[in-house]
Structure 1
């Protein structure tokens, strides 16, 4: 189109920029090759695929046929494939597993002919139709009677019993676990990053994640986001990640970055705990302890071994830093590790200073086995809590920063231990106070500047939920 091409490049770019901010712009692609390329780059950059469970009993859905038939030029434009697997509310766990297995097999067959790429993310979300309802728009409310009333004692016994049982059952359904295996499923060379997002509230078992990862041989980055459901389930399904996932080093041979984040689920856990306490007060009976230990030494040991070839590792509320360092063998060497982020429940404003100092000095000793280390962070955060210890090194400058609420100080010996890591470097120490009010886990993350510990979309979702009255 001569008229278009005769315009100066800066004017053409400005016009295209105005066009690309809008949706539904595909009809304008024929204007010129430049328009086509720019519009296709936007449209194909992130593909969103919905696969309802009703499709599982029939032939391969058309969306997967279209995915497999994309031309090479458009395949190269795709940077993110988001797959939403939707099941019916109330379906049996076995039915869920069959459907998920079939859907992912269809997906992988569609992608098996795609050439190897350098930056393609596969994100899989698994949810039930009930999760579309308004109950999730109000801080995990489940629509029970008087659930916004802080004084549960004003409910009658029958109302309370019905409320607590309904609330608990709904929460258990939403966060239920499921597993499946992939029988005849091809490998996919194109995918380099796998993301299981926080919005997938179903607890995907480690054996299932393992089946998926072993069919993605060129993975370079893994991001797993889970939920703390300790008030809902007695079993700690996270411990099953040790034998079924992290004990398989073949899954991580090409992986350079791994991020695991557990949402502490504070509003829902607090609500269930409060309701259960009121219920027990009204209806006394012997009750088994529901406490789930935050110490996972076996899991920590497997992760420590699996992480030896990584460049970046971030574990938030998955294993404690104390367990991670405690399970490292004497001969462990992280030859390429550049960034390490861990959490520890020891780091609190009113915590045991001796234990905190011991942990940070242990971390300094472990850092000696990480010759390329540029950043190490140990932190803790939640409602009314935000603490972080950060070590950074760039060329001949090293620094440590301590952030804690209320001006809590560290023992000078801790700083000396870290200074001795690099005796020839300029060493800086900085101590910062945190925000006066820390209302939630996401508020702590933002206060401490730790946005990298969770996917950016999940972080935004957490902020939106936290801002809901």
Structure 2
């Protein structure tokens, strides 16, 4: 056997660019390379930070979590808390069991109990995913629960930079095969089958369905995404109040793959235990009845109004799918924006550095709520959707919106990027203003004549921004490339962060699946 010293000496004699290339190829692999850290101290110095940078936490791992990370806490940048709830029966979707409540509350207490002793340093992201095998069993088998992908691993074309992510479904192969055969065209669409299929797709819609037991009669149920997580046996807000303060966490991700609706009081309670919170990514599912959506927007407005003062970045994305409209009754084709919620977001944005609000607020309502005296002293980027950006809207109306946006930009001395956009089937539009480049970019599936008054309004914003002429750049997009709104996001190539990259990938995957089965 070659002596260890001789092996290390041989490794050290290699040129640095060669052994760095070897390590680079090793780190590009999705498989764990923890064992490779024992090869040499040089390998350990490179591999160890990578191994501890992102950690997945399950209830089974929580017992040893403190021991595992005690010596390497300073290397941890991302914690993914995965909580798998019990599988439930089809007609009982509304029931979240006592065991589930206990699992959630115990997991958060244990995790926060460990994190409270961590020294606040740098940035630490807490990603929370709560799911059940029933999410796939009684909806569709394409649903996945996956690790978030950092922006640095995505290239400018919004494609995966490297190997495609491994899919991790919580559904066994036999069950998948059963539901594939159920939806097969060879079996046809029986009345009950088609109705059940609609129920599986309707992640946020309540209706009456035939009980799975087949005992006759009908029973009303509330699907998973409409269930509020009432963490019993004690009220949910008390659980958060009893959690210790955790200064080390600076970012929270509540992604769309958690299809159960977070109650806003629970989110507010969670944020109250994070005194250094600076960034929130929240991707709530829409409600499929307008009256339920109005109630949800009222609760959401309370959350926005209670955001902590330490918050710098806020990214909100309302998850929806236009295919559901063809299956569900009484479902509006497009989510109606809330005036009050838009106004609340406008007020909350005054202390932010980055704001993105898609399909929850409307840019028109947002800028209507902006007083000429309002100031955003730290704001660097803003992205808002507007339903006015569509080809059947008059040019006068769209230019009026852009005029209001230019007026608001007067109060944003540090602004680097403003994006007003819209995306749905067959429609994609983006107006981007970048002061440092003195450019207005219009990228859409139809032509728009930006009025001279709008251009002059942006030109007059200097000297805090651009001085002199503002160039207008236009790009006409192919309508055929825009099917779901996920395609619009891909084609528009936003500069601002709109949603998590893995969430976009899951939206596109869902769209492809629904197109192949309808």
From 197, 216, 224, the equivalent of 1:174 is 224
Alignment of 1:33-112 (within 5 A): 33-51=41-59, 61=60, 63-71=61-69, 73-90=71-88, 92-93=95-96, 95=98, 96-112=100-116
Does 2:268 correspond to 1:265?
no
1:295 aligns with 2:337: yes
What displacement does 1:42 show?
Answer: 2.1
How far did 1:315 drift?
0.5
What root-mean-square deviation, in Å, do the aligned CA atoms of Structure 1 and Structure 2 show?
3.0
Q: 1:406 deviation in Å? A: 2.9
For 1:422, what is the secondary structure of its paired residue? coil
Q: Is structure 2 residue 440 aligned with structure 1 residue 400?
A: yes
Provide the rounded CA distance (Å) in 1 between the counterparts of 2:180 and 2:453.
53
- Equivalent position to 2:285, from 227, 237, 240: 227
Do the aligned residues in 2 keep the contact of 1:349 with 1:404 (CA within 8 Å)?
Answer: no
CA contact under 8 A between 1:234 and 1:290: conserved in structure 2? no
- Flag the structure with higher strand content: 1
User: 1:358 maps to what in 2?
Assistant: 400
Q: Is the 8 A contact 1:65 1:110 kept in 2?
A: no
Further displaced range: 374-383 or 426-435: 426-435
Contact 1:144–1:167 (8 Å) recurs in 2: no
Is residue 198–residue 227 contact of structure 1 (8 Å, CA) maintained in 2?
A: yes
The equivalences for 1:88-237 within 5 A come to 88-90=86-88, 92-93=95-96, 95=98, 96-133=100-137, 136-138=140-142, 143=179, 155=190, 172-179=222-229, 180-181=236-237, 182-230=240-288, 234-236=292-294, 237=296
Say yes or no: does 1:380 pair with 2:422: yes
In 2, the alpha carbon distance for the partners of 1:292 and 1:213 equals 30
Pairwise CA distance, 1:189: 1.5
- Contact preservation (8 Å) 1:44, 1:78: yes
Quick one: which of 303, 315, 320 aligns to 2:362? 320
**Preserved contact between residue 140 and residue 201 of structure 2 (Cα < 8 Å):** no
Cα distance in 2, alignment partners of residues 165 and 220 from structure 1: 38
- CA drift at 1:164: 5.4
> Contact 1:228/1:265 (CA < 8 Å) preserved in 2?
no
Contact 2:349 2:355 in 1 (8 A): yes
1:97–1:178 Cα contact (<8 Å) kept: no
Q: Select between 301-310 and 291-300 the one with higher mean Cα deviation.
A: 291-300
Distance in structure 1 (CA, Å) of the matches to 2:320 and 2:197? 23
Partners of 1:232 and 1:77 lie apart in 2 by: 46
Shift of 1:111: 1.1
Matches of 2:53 and 2:391 in 1, distance apart? 44
Alpha-carbon shift at residue 106 of structure 1 (Å): 1.6
The corresponding residue for 2:297 is 238
C-alpha spacing 1:183/1:382, structure 2 compared with 1 (3 Å) = same
Where in structure 1 are there 5+ consecutive unaligned residues?
52-60, 278-288
Query: Deviations 1:105-141 (Å, cap 9, x if unpaired)?
Result: 2211121111112121110011112234495445899
Determine whether 1:430 maps to 2:466: no
Match of 1:57 in 2: none
Is the counterpart of residue 440 in structure 1 residue 484 in structure 2? yes
For 1:206-233, what per-residue CA distance to the aligned partner results, in whole angstroms no more than 9, with x for missing partners? 1111111111111121111122232598
Query: Secondary structure of 1:17's match?
Result: helix
Distance 1:82 1:422, change over 3 A: same
TM-score, scaled relative to structure 1: 0.84
- The corresponding residue for 2:433 is 391
Quick check: 2:374–2:411 contact (8 Å CA) kept in 1? Answer: yes
Residues 355 and 104 of structure 1: CA distance in aligned 2, closer, same or farther (over 3 Å) = same
Q: Does the CA contact (< 8 Å) of 1:234 and 1:292 recur in 2?
A: no
CA distance in 2, matches of 1:258, 1:242: 14
Select which of 481, 487, 499 maps to 1:454: 499
C-alpha distance in structure 1 between counterparts of 2:348 and 2:200, whole Å: 41
After superposition, the C-alpha distances for 1:262-305 in whole angstroms (9 at most, x for unaligned) are 123222x22433xx38xxxxxxxxxxx97997232222232222
CA-to-partner distance for each residue in 1:39-82, whole Å, 9 max, x for gaps? 2222211111223xxxxxxxxx5x22322234555212211111
Change (3 A) 1:161 1:388: closer
Structure 1 CA distance for aligned equivalents of residues 359 and 69 of structure 2? 42
Q: Are 2:362 and 1:306 equivalent residues in the alignment?
A: no
C-alpha separation in 2, matches of 1:292 and 1:349: 15
1:17-48 Cα offsets, whole Å, 9 max, x none, are: 23333423322322211222322222211111
State whether residues 64 and 110 of structure 1, in contact with CA within 8 Å, keep that contact through their aligned partners in structure 2: no
Question: Partners of 2:196 and 2:260 in 1: how far apart?
Answer: 24
